Structure 1
Amino acid sequence: MKSAVETLNPTRVRLTVEVPFEELKPSLDAAYKKINQQVTVKGFRQGKIPARVIDQRFGRGAVLEEAVNDALPKLYTEAVNEAELNPLGQPEVDITELKDGELLAFTAEVDIRPALEIPDYSGIEVTVDAVEVTDEDLEKSVEQLRERFATTSPVERAAAEGDIVTVDLEAKVEGEVLEDGVASDVDYTIGSGQLLEGIDDAVTGLEAGGTATFTSELKGGSAEGKEAEITVVVKAVKARELPELDDDFAQMASEFDTLDELKADSRKRLERMKKFDQATQAQEKVLEELLKLVEVPMPEKLLADEVNTRKHNLEHHQLGQIGMTLDKYLEMQGKSAEEFEAELKEQAEKGIKTQFVLDEIVNKEKVSVGQEELTEHLMRRAQSSGMAPDQFAQAVVEQGQVPMLVGEVARGKALATVVEAATVKDSNGEVVDLEDEDETETAVETVEAAEAGDEKTEA
Structure 2
Amino acid sequence: MKSAVETLNPTRVRLTVEVPFEELKDSLDAAYKKINQQVTVKGFRKGKIPARVIDQRFGRGAVLEEAVNDALPKFYTEAVNEAELNVLGQPEVDITELKDNETLNFTAEVDVRPTIEIPDYSGIEVEVDAVEIADEDVDKAVEELRERFASTSPVERAAEDGDVVTIDLEAKVEGEVLEDGVASGVSYTIGSGELLEGIDDAVKGLEAGGEATFTSELKGGSAAGKESEVTVKVTQVAKRELPELDDDFAQLASEFDTLDELKADSRKRLETARQFDQATQAQERVLEKLLELVEVPVPEKLLEDEIRTRKHNLEHHQLGQMGLDLAKYLEIQGKTEEEFDAETKEQAEKGIKTQFVLDELVNKEKLNVNQEELTEHLMRRAQSSGMSPDQFAQAVVEGGQVPMLVGEVARGKALAVVVEAATVKDTNGEVVDLDDEDEAAEGEQADASAEADAESAKADEEKSEA
Aligned residue for 1:310? 310
Task: After TM superposition, list the pairs within 5 Å mapping 1:256-271 onto structure 2.
Answer: 256-271=256-271
Moved more, 232-241 or 288-297: 232-241
Moved more, 184-193 or 171-180: 171-180
Aligned residue for 1:152? 152
Aligned residue for 2:434? 434
Aligned residue for 1:188? 188
Alignment partners' CA distance in 1, 2:144 and 2:350: 37
Task: After TM superposition, list the pairs within 5 Å mapping 1:361-400 onto structure 2.
Answer: 361-400=361-400
Task: Report the AA paired with residue 293 of structure 1.
Answer: L
1:173–1:395 CA distance, 2 compared to 1 (3 A): closer
Alignment partners' CA distance in 1, 2:91 and 2:407: 23
Query: How big is the shift at 1:112?
Result: 0.8
1:191–1:383 CA distance, 2 compared to 1 (3 A): same
Aligned residue for 1:69? 69
Question: Structure 1, residues 415-438: CA drift from partner, whole Å, max 9, x if none?
Answer: 000000000011111111111121
Query: How big is the shift at 1:327?
Result: 1.5
Aligned residue for 1:407? 407
Question: Structure 1, residues 134-166: CA drift from partner, whole Å, max 9, x if none?
Answer: 111111111111111111110111111110111
1:36–1:338 CA distance, 2 compared to 1 (3 A): same
Tell me, which stretches of 5 or more residues in structure 2 are unaligned? 457-466
Aligned residue for 2:453? 450
Task: Report the AA paired with residue 266 of structure 2.
Answer: S
Query: How big is the shift at 1:178?
Result: 4.5
Aligned residue for 2:295? 295
Task: After TM superposition, list the pairs within 5 Å mapping 1:155-234 onto structure 2.
Answer: 155-234=155-234
Alignment partners' CA distance in 2, 1:393 and 1:218: 39
Q: Is the 8 A contact 1:347 1:452 kept in 2?
A: no
Q: Is the 8 A contact 2:207 2:234 kept in 1?
A: yes
Alignment partners' CA distance in 2, 1:79 and 1:403: 24
Alignment partners' CA distance in 2, 1:376 and 1:187: 40
Aligned residue for 2:123? 123
Q: Is the 8 A contact 1:416 1:443 kept in 2?
A: no
Query: How big is the shift at 1:223?
Result: 4.3
Q: Is the 8 A contact 1:413 1:443 kept in 2?
A: no
Moved more, 229-238 or 142-151: 229-238
1:385–1:442 CA distance, 2 compared to 1 (3 A): closer
Q: Is the 8 A contact 1:150 1:241 kept in 2?
A: yes
Query: How big is the shift at 1:180?
Result: 4.3
Query: How big is the shift at 1:179?
Result: 4.7
Query: How big is the shift at 1:232?
Result: 2.4
Query: How big is the shift at 1:175?
Result: 4.8
Q: What secondary structure sits across from 1:162 in the alignment?
A: coil
Query: How big is the shift at 1:304?
Result: 0.5
Q: Is the 8 A contact 1:128 1:427 kept in 2?
A: yes
1:44–1:175 CA distance, 2 compared to 1 (3 A): closer
Indicate the RMSD between aligned Cα atoms, in angstroms.
1.8
Query: How big is the shift at 1:342?
Result: 1.1
1:227–1:387 CA distance, 2 compared to 1 (3 A): closer
Alignment partners' CA distance in 2, 1:228 and 1:316: 25
Tell me, which stretches of 5 or more residues in structure 1 are unaligned? 454-459
Q: Is the 8 A contact 1:377 1:409 kept in 2?
A: yes
Aligned residue for 2:343? 343
Moved more, 373-382 or 68-77: 373-382
Alignment partners' CA distance in 2, 1:347 and 1:41: 59
Question: Structure 1, residues 101-130: CA drift from partner, whole Å, max 9, x if none?
Answer: 000011111111111111111111001111
Task: Report the AA paired with residue 208 of structure 1.
Answer: A
Q: TM-score, normalised by structure 1?
A: 0.94
Q: Is the 8 A contact 1:168 1:235 kept in 2?
A: yes
Task: After TM superposition, list the pairs within 5 Å mapping 1:76-91 onto structure 2.
Answer: 76-91=76-91
Query: How big is the shift at 1:231?
Result: 2.9
Q: Is the 8 A contact 2:5 2:16 kept in 1?
A: yes
Identical amino acids, percent of aligned pairs: 82
